[in-house]
Chains A and B, each alone.
Chain A
Amino acid sequence: MIDTQRTEPSHGAPSNPFMPEQMRIVRRYDLTSDVRFFQVRPVDMERALSLDYKPGQFMMISLAGVGEAPFSISSTPSRPGMVEFCIRKVGRLTEQLFTYKENSIIGLRGPYGNGFPLEKMVGKDILIVVGGLGVAPLRSLLLYILDNRDQFGKFYVLHGAHTPAEMLFRKEFFEIKERDDLNCLLTVDEDPQGEWPFRKGLVTDLFEEIDGLDPDNTYATVCGPPVMYKFVVAEFLKLGIPKHQILMTLERRMHCGIGKCGHCVIGSIYTCLDGPVFSYWDVLHMKDLI
Chain B
Amino acid sequence: MKALKLKKEDLYTYLESLKSYGELWGPVSRGEHYSYAKLANVRDVALQALRTIIPPKKFFVPPRFNMFRYSEDQYTETFEDVKPRVLFGIHPCDIHGLMILDELFLDRFPDPYYKKRREATAILGLSCIPDDKCMARSTNTHAVEGGFDLAFNELGEEYLVWVGSSLGDDLVRLNIDLFSEEIETSDVQKYLEWRRKRDSRYKLNFDLTGMPDIMELSWDSPLWDELADRCLSCGSCSMVCPTCNCYNIRDISDLSLESGVRQRRWDSCMNKEYALVAGVHNFREARAERLKLYYTHKLKAFITEYGRPSCVGCGRCIDTCPVSINVAEVIRGLKGQEVKL
A, B: real partners: yes
Query: Chain B: which residue is nearest A91 at the CB level?
Result: B278
- Which residues of B217-273 are within 8 A (CB) of A? 219, 245-251, 253, 257, 260, 262, 267, 269
Instruction: Identify which of B77, B260, B283, B297 contacts A64 (C-beta below 8 A).
Output: B260
- If the complex has contacts A9-B109, A267-B296, are A288 and B283 also in contact, measured as CB distance less than 8 A? yes
User: With A and B bound together, what is the CA distance between A60 and B74 in angstroms?
Assistant: 16
The chain B residue with its CB closest to the CB of A18 is B67
Q: Give the residues in chain A near B72, CB-CB below 8 Å.
A: 64, 105
B70 touching A255, Cβ below 8 Å:
no
B108 within 8 A of A: yes
Complex Cα spacing A258 to B247, Å: 13
- Which residue of the partner chain A has the closest CB to B302? A268
- A16 and B275 alpha carbons, distance in the complex (Å): 26
Main secondary structure of the interface of B (DSSP, over half): mixed
- 9 closest Cβ contacts across the A-B interface? A91-B278, A262-B246, A268-B301, A258-B109, A64-B70, A105-B73, A268-B304, A90-B279, A17-B109
Q: Is A79 an interface residue (CB 8 A)?
A: no
Task: Check A260/B245 contact, CB under 8 A, given A265-B293, A265-B301, A268-B301.
Answer: yes
Q: B287 at interface (Cβ–Cβ under 8 A)?
A: no
19 new A-B contacts, CB < 8 A, other than A64-B260, A253-B277, are: A9-B108, A17-B111, A22-B73, A62-B75, A64-B72, A65-B253, A66-B251, A67-B250, A91-B279, A105-B73, A251-B277, A252-B277, A260-B109, A262-B269, A263-B246, A267-B300, A268-B301, A287-B292, A288-B293
CA distance A91 to B273 in the complex (A): 14
A-B contact pairs, 26 of them (CB 8 A): A6-B108, A8-B108, A16-B112, A17-B112, A18-B111, A19-B68, A64-B71, A64-B260, A69-B278, A90-B278, A91-B278, A94-B278, A104-B73, A107-B75, A252-B283, A253-B283, A255-B248, A256-B249, A258-B109, A260-B105, A260-B245, A260-B247, A261-B246, A265-B301, A268-B301, A268-B305
Q: Quick check: A16 and B77 within 8 Å, CB to CB?
A: yes
Closest-CB distance, B10 to chain A (whole angstroms): 42
Q: Indicate if A182 sits at the interface (CB-CB under 8 A).
A: no
- Please tell me if A224 contacts chain B, counting CB pairs below 8 Å: no
Chain B residues within an 8 Å CB radius of A16: 77, 112
Q: How far is the CA of A273 from the CA of B279 in the complex (A)?
A: 23
Q: Judge whether B111 and A260 touch: CB under 8 Å.
A: yes
Distance in Å: Cβ of A172 to nearest Cβ of chain B: 25
Shortest Cβ gap from A242 to chain B (Å): 24
User: Which residues of B are at the interface with A, using a C-beta cutoff of 8 A?
Assistant: 67-68, 70-75, 77, 104-105, 108-113, 219, 245-251, 253, 257, 260, 262, 267, 269, 274-279, 283-284, 289, 292-293, 296-297, 300-302, 304-305
Chain A residues near B275: list those with CB within 8 A: 252-253, 263
Contact B108–A261 (Cβ < 8 Å): no
Task: Check A93 for interface membership: any CB of B closer than 8 A.
Answer: yes
List the B residue with the shortest CB-CB distance to A285: B216
Contact status A253-B274, CB under 8 Å: yes
Contact with B along A17-48 (1 / 0, CB 8 A): 11110100000000000000000000000000
With A16-B112, A64-B251 as contacts: A262 and B245 at CB distance below 8 Å: yes
In the complex, which residues of chain B have a beta carbon less than 8 angstroms from the beta carbon of A256?
249
A64 engages B75 (CB within 8 Å):
yes
Q: Are B108 and A258 in contact (CB under 8 A)?
A: yes
Q: Most B CB atoms within 10 A — which of A69, A256, A262?
A: A262
Residues from chain A with Cβ under 8 Å of B248 in the complex: 255, 261
Q: Is A106 an interface residue (CB 8 A)?
A: yes
Which residues in A have their C-beta under 8 angstroms from that of B112? 15-18
Which one of A19, A67, A106, A268 has the greatest number of beta carbons of chain B within 10 Å? A268
Binary contact track A142-153/B, C-beta < 8 Å → 1, others 0: 000000000000
Chain A, residue nearest B269 (CB): A262
Residue from B77, B105, B250, B301 within 8 A of A19 (CB atoms): B77
Bound CA–CA A148/B80 (angstroms): 48
Question: Which residues of chain A (59-93) have a CB below 8 Å from chain B?
Answer: 62, 64-69, 90-93
Q: What number of A residues sit within 8 Å (CB to CB) of B?
A: 45
Q: Distance in Å from the Cβ of B264 to the closest Cβ of chain A?
A: 8
A215 at the interface (CB under 8 A from B): no
The reply to whether B247 and A255 form a contact with Cβ atoms under 8 Å apart is yes
**Cβ distance B257 to chain A, nearest Cβ, rounded Å:** 7
- Contact yes or no, A273 B253, CB < 8 A: no
Q: How close is B286's CB to chain A, nearest CB, in angstroms?
A: 9
Q: Chain A 268-290 against B: per-residue CB contact (8 Å), 1 yes, 0 no?
A: 10000100000000000001101
Task: State in angstroms the CA–CA spacing of A17 and B67 once bound together.
Answer: 11
Query: A184 CA to B260 CA in the complex, in Å?
Result: 48
The answer to whether B267 touches A261 (Cβ under 8 A) is yes
A256 to B111 Cα, complex, angstroms: 11
For residue A287, which residues in chain B have a CB less than 8 angstroms away from its CB? 219, 292, 296
B-side contacts of A69, CB under 8 Å: 278
Given A67-B250, A67-B251, A288-B289, check contact A259 B109 (CB 8 Å).
yes
Contact, CB under 8 Å: A267 / B71 = no
B257 to chain A: which residues have CB within 8 Å?
65
CB contacts (< 8 Å) of B70 on chain A: these are 64-65
Enumerate chain B residues within 8 angstroms of A259, measured Cβ to Cβ: 104, 108-109
CA distance A267 to B262 in the complex (A): 29
Please indicate the chain B residues that have their CB under 8 angstroms from the CB of A93 in the complex: 278
A252: which B residues are within 8 A, CB to CB? Answer: 275, 277, 283
A58 to B: closest C-beta gap in Å: 13
Contact with B along A103-119 (1 / 0, CB 8 A): 01111000000000000
Give the shortest distance, in Å, between B60 (CB) and chain A (any CB): 13
| Interchain CB contact (< 8 A) of A288 among B267, B284, B301 | B284
CB < 8 Å neighbour of B249 from A8, A105, A261: A261
Is the CB–CB distance between B297 and A265 below 8 Å? yes
